[in-house]
Amino acid sequence: MCYFGIPLDVRKSPAIYLWAEDRAGNRSEATFYCRMRKKRFRKAKIRVTDRFLKQILPGFSSYLKDTPQGNVVRFLKINQDLRQENAQAFHDLRTKTVQDRLWEGTWLRMKNAANMARLGDRRTYYYKGKKIDEQVHMGVDLASLANSDVPASNNGRVIFAGSMGIYGLTVVLDHGQGLASTYSHLSSIAVQMDQEVAKGEIIGLTGQTGLAGGDHLHFGIMVSGLFVNPIEWWDGHWIQDNVLRKLALLKGGKKGE
Ligand SMILES: [Zn+2]
């Protein structure tokens, strides 16, 4: 069995197939039934102010040492180049997963937190009324009180704990089988690399490190290094229908419904 995600920017149904290759290089492919539903994503406007730039740019001074002066130029370097480097770093963590299933049941959502931004939000950035950039938001922003406890959303193992560019202080947990969760903009980290954590255990405190305008948790779920919608993994019915029921069928050796 394996899990797979669909990239957000896919327009048509992609070709999804299984393949196997033996050591001699003989390769075989097979397709299977797969239904993709359309999903609309939101648009959001972000006003980049001089005050915000003055607040965040000093934190990136070492990354920006060879970038020309000019706050907007420097902001774009972070929002584009560093963002892409960080996306690659998250993607590279997929190789650290274990084959065993560490997770159990639904993923926890931080308590009493308002949902400020969603996965797939298409953000347009404006500076003094002029459009300067466009990016896609790859997680969910949850805002509560400053320095709120951040619980591990499921059982897992720490595969990253440290600074991650625009995401600031970040923890990534592997839940096994290619599933991972990410916690960013933390003010402090309470776990160490390779540490095993239980669902609900506090792994750090919310903050506004990295490219963040205020204290919040940026939460992500990855399937083999691809960010998917956390809302689904918080939903007991969705887990039951899309994951647990199918695992039970596999175990039982019964035919699919
Ligand atoms: Zn975010």
12 pLDDT higher than 90: no
Tokens 């019964």: give the residue. Answer: 254
Beta carbons within 8 Å of 192's beta carbon, 6+ residues apart:
158, 161
105 pLDDT higher than 50: yes
Does residue 152 belong to any structural domain of this protein?
yes
Q: Where are the alpha helices (DSSP H) in the chain?
A: 50-56, 71-76, 83-92, 230-233, 236-239, 245-252
Does residue 250 belong to any structural domain of this protein?
no
Bigger pLDDT: 90 or 113? 90
Q: Name the residue type at position 127.
A: Y
Bigger pLDDT: 16 or 97? 97
Does residue 180 belong to any structural domain of this protein?
yes
For residues 48-54, average pLDDT: 96
Say how many Å lie between the CA of residue 236 and the centre of ligand 1. Answer: 24
Does residue 38 belong to any structural domain of this protein?
yes
For residues 68-94, average pLDDT: 96
Backbone angles phi, psi at 182, to 5 degrees: -125, 145
If you ran DSSP here, which 8-state letter would residue 243 be given?
A: I
- Domain boundaries, position 214: 17-235
If you ran DSSP here, which 8-state letter would residue 216 be given?
A: B
- pLDDT tens across 194-225, in order? 999 999 999 999 999 999 999 999 999 999 99
Residue 127 maps to which CATH number?
2.70.70.10
111 pLDDT higher than 50: yes
251 pLDDT higher than 80: no
What is the spatial distance between Cα 97 and Cα 105, in angstroms, rounded to a whole number?
Answer: 18
For residues 33-37, average pLDDT: 82
Which of 3-12, 48-57, 125-134 comes out lowest in average pLDDT? 3-12
Say how many Å lie between the CA of residue 13 and the centre of ligand 1. Answer: 27
Say how many Å lie between the CA of residue 10 and the centre of ligand 1. Answer: 21
Write the CA distances from 93 to 86, 189, 252, integer angstroms.
11, 18, 32
Does residue 247 belong to any structural domain of this protein?
no
Say how many Å lie between the CA of residue 65 and the centre of ligand 1. Answer: 25
Say how many Å lie between the CA of residue 119 and the centre of ligand 1. Answer: 8
Say how many Å lie between the CA of residue 184 and the centre of ligand 1. Answer: 8
Say how many Å lie between the CA of residue 185 and the centre of ligand 1. Answer: 8
Q: Residue 256 has what pLDDT?
A: 45
Does residue 178 belong to any structural domain of this protein?
yes
Say how many Å lie between the CA of residue 239 and the centre of ligand 1. Answer: 24
Say how many Å lie between the CA of residue 141 and the centre of ligand 1. Answer: 5
Query: What confidence tier does 253 reach under pLDDT thresholds 50, 70, 90?
Result: low
Say how many Å lie between the CA of residue 76 and the centre of ligand 1. Answer: 17
Does residue 29 belong to any structural domain of this protein?
yes
93 pLDDT higher than 70: yes
Say how many Å lie between the CA of residue 182 and the centre of ligand 1. Answer: 11
Say how many Å lie between the CA of residue 198 and the centre of ligand 1. Answer: 24
Say how many Å lie between the CA of residue 218 and the centre of ligand 1. Answer: 4
Say how many Å lie between the CA of residue 176 and the centre of ligand 1. Answer: 24
Number of domain units in the chain: 1
The whole-model pTM stands at 0.93
Say how many Å lie between the CA of residue 111 and the centre of ligand 1. Answer: 17
Say how many Å lie between the CA of residue 117 and the centre of ligand 1. Answer: 7
Bigger pLDDT: 215 or 113? 215
Beta bridge partners of residue 207, listed in sequence order: 216
Say how many Å lie between the CA of residue 57 and the centre of ligand 1. Answer: 17
Does residue 173 belong to any structural domain of this protein?
yes
Say how many Å lie between the CA of residue 140 and the centre of ligand 1. Answer: 6
Q: Residue 45 has what pLDDT?
A: 96
| Mean per-residue pLDDT over the chain, rounded | 93
Say how many Å lie between the CA of residue 216 and the centre of ligand 1. Answer: 8
